[in-house]
Amino acid sequence: MAHTIVILGASGDLTSRKLIPALFSLFRKNRLPPQTRIVGFSRSELTDEAWRAALAASTRAHGDHGWDEAAFAAFASSVHYQRGDIQDADAFASLGRRLDALEGADPATRVYYLATLPALYPTAVRQLGSAGLANRDRGDRRTVVEKPFGSDLASARALNAELHQVFPERDIYRIDHYLGKETVQNLLVLRFANSIFEPIWNRNYVDHVQITVAEEVDVGRRGAFYDGSGVLRDMFQNHLLQLLMVTAMEAPVRFDADLVRDEKVKVLRSIRGMRGADFATDTIRAQYDGFARTSGVADGSRTATFAAVKLRIDNWRWKDVPFYLRSGKAMSCRTTQIVIQFREPPHMMFRVPASGHWESNRLVIQVQPAEGLQLHFQSKTPDANMNLRNATLDFRFRSGAESEMPDAYQRLLVDLLAGDASLFARSDEVERAWEIIDPILAAWQSPAAPPLESYPVGAWGPASSEQWMADQGRHWFDVCPVLH
């Protein structure tokens, strides 16, 4: 069956920086189904040739392999452009005629990729419906929705309702590019294809879990967008909660879209809601110095660029094991890591080391930049009686692999074309995630809010974040990438 990917918002950054480079890499690796064509749709006045030339330049700059002119020309022969405005019903009628002409008599699976401004998603979906472009009589019809998926629970529900008017849930693919990252998928393999981790992956052995997504970059040119969104909407509602779900979920019976997502949603349903004083004791918010002077950011902005949140999962596996989530811009370095901090041994017969404390076992799952695992354990210091030292065992995910680590979009696009939604968010998952984030957002606007702290660019957040952990007898694993 042929496939047609229709990109609505074809002249935007996402298309040129992510989608086309990923599709080209897949083409070169022979991973695209045969007869896959791409049709761009946007307001810019462009011919097929002009769009192909623009994509050649951007793919050369952003693609992940050495540049190959001839390969791009072969790929580009299946790339087409159709001018049109999302507000204009006639433009969708023309798009339909163009797609029919390109596909000819053969039925094709069509994927409508919403890569446009989020405010236009509802209109775009309505227009697809009214123009009959979602009719399935000549092949499957799917739609892909980029984040942000709403800006709170009400808007996410409204968007789901709009989408469901036109597409059944099984044909809606909500992107969270963190689920396309190799280490996140590998976490499922680590947990559920091995027998040695699962028995200790619970409250009996784990003291707490830390999930850190630290970014070294500041908000850059996205000041206006970011000021209206902040770190909870931009990173927590989606990426951090996805990492939490994959870390905490039970084993699904099969790697099947609904079974995987059922287990993930159960985790979100088990998260204890915060109330009253919880917001001040269990959340920290901060802004990096200089944020309010960024172009596009309102003077005196109170938007948080860093947050730390303590969540409790009330189920048999995780009762009383806190999950500490934190993320921020302008931090020390770029690292995404999940730290499983194990309990101390119940009794220690060895002498306390010179450092004054034992480092109990820790598994560091480094999601990026380099992907891999590091296990921290105690070992004897060679030739030094029974003195102990902290030791590590490293696993680099790319070791033994011949190919480069693919960009997250490659994996997600392959799954999308194959009709496998396991690594995409389902409507209930997105809504439940907002149900967790919305009360924190509301509390931060109320007298229950913790103070808005500040932190210097290049720090691990505000000093209060360290103190907060220390008050709980714990400390953050503030270490830049442990693997390179």
- Enzyme catalytic residues: 239
When CB distances to ligand BG6 are compared, the closest residue is: 234
Please name which of 72, 75, 145 lies closest in space to residue 111, comparing C-alpha atoms: 145
| Residue placing its CB nearer to ligand BG6 in the complex, 9 or 252 | 9
Report the nearest approach of ligand BG6 to the CB of residue 177 (Å). Answer: 6
Check if the beta carbon of residue 179 is closer than 8 Å to that of residue 412: yes
Report the nearest approach of ligand BG6 to the CB of residue 222 (Å). Answer: 7
Report the nearest approach of ligand BG6 to the CB of residue 109 (Å). Answer: 27
| Residue placing its CB nearer to ligand BG6 in the complex, 134 or 213 | 213
Residue 218 CA: distances (Å) to CA of 223, 353, 458, 476: 9, 40, 10, 21
Report the nearest approach of ligand BG6 to the CB of residue 212 (Å). Answer: 12
**Interface positions, 83-122, toward ligand BG6 (CB under 6 A):** none
Q: Does 234 bind ligand BG6 (CB under 6 A)?
A: yes
| Residue placing its CB nearer to ligand BG6 in the complex, 182 or 207 | 182
Distance, in Å, from the CA atom of 93 to the CA atom of 84, rounded to the nearest integer, reads 10
Distance, in Å, from the CA atom of 158 to the CA atom of 176, rounded to the nearest integer, reads 19
Report the nearest approach of ligand BG6 to the CB of residue 229 (Å). Answer: 8
Distance, in Å, from the CA atom of 250 to the CA atom of 413, rounded to the nearest integer, reads 26
| Residue placing its CB nearer to ligand BG6 in the complex, 147 or 432 | 147
**Interface positions, 204-223, toward ligand BG6 (CB under 6 A):** 215
Does residue 40 sit in helix, strand or coil?
strand
Q: Does 227 bind ligand BG6 (CB under 6 A)?
A: no
End-to-end CA distance of the chain: 42
Q: Which residues contact 215 (CB under 8 A, 6 or more apart)?
A: 327, 328, 329, 330, 331, 334
Report the nearest approach of ligand BG6 to the CB of residue 477 (Å). Answer: 18
**Interface positions, 306-365, toward ligand BG6 (CB under 6 A):** none
Tokens of 389: 């030292």
Secondary structure element (H or E) that encloses residue 324, with its range: strand 322-328
**Which 8-state DSSP code applies to residue 119?**
G
> CA torsion sign, 212 to 218 to 222 to 226?
positive
Does residue 219 sit in helix, strand or coil?
coil
Q: Does 146 bind ligand BG6 (CB under 6 A)?
A: no
Distance, in Å, from the CA atom of 98 to the CA atom of 80, rounded to the nearest integer, reads 10
Distance, in Å, from the CA atom of 415 to the CA atom of 3, rounded to the nearest integer, reads 13
- In which residue are the tokens 């002249």 written? 11
**Interface positions, 16-75, toward ligand BG6 (CB under 6 A):** none
The crossing angle, in degrees rounded to 10, of helices 121-130 and 153-166 is: 10
| Residue placing its CB nearer to ligand BG6 in the complex, 182 or 282 | 182
**Interface positions, 170-209, toward ligand BG6 (CB under 6 A):** 177
| Residue placing its CB nearer to ligand BG6 in the complex, 147 or 326 | 147
Positions that interact with ligand BG6 (CB under 6 A): 147, 177, 215, 234
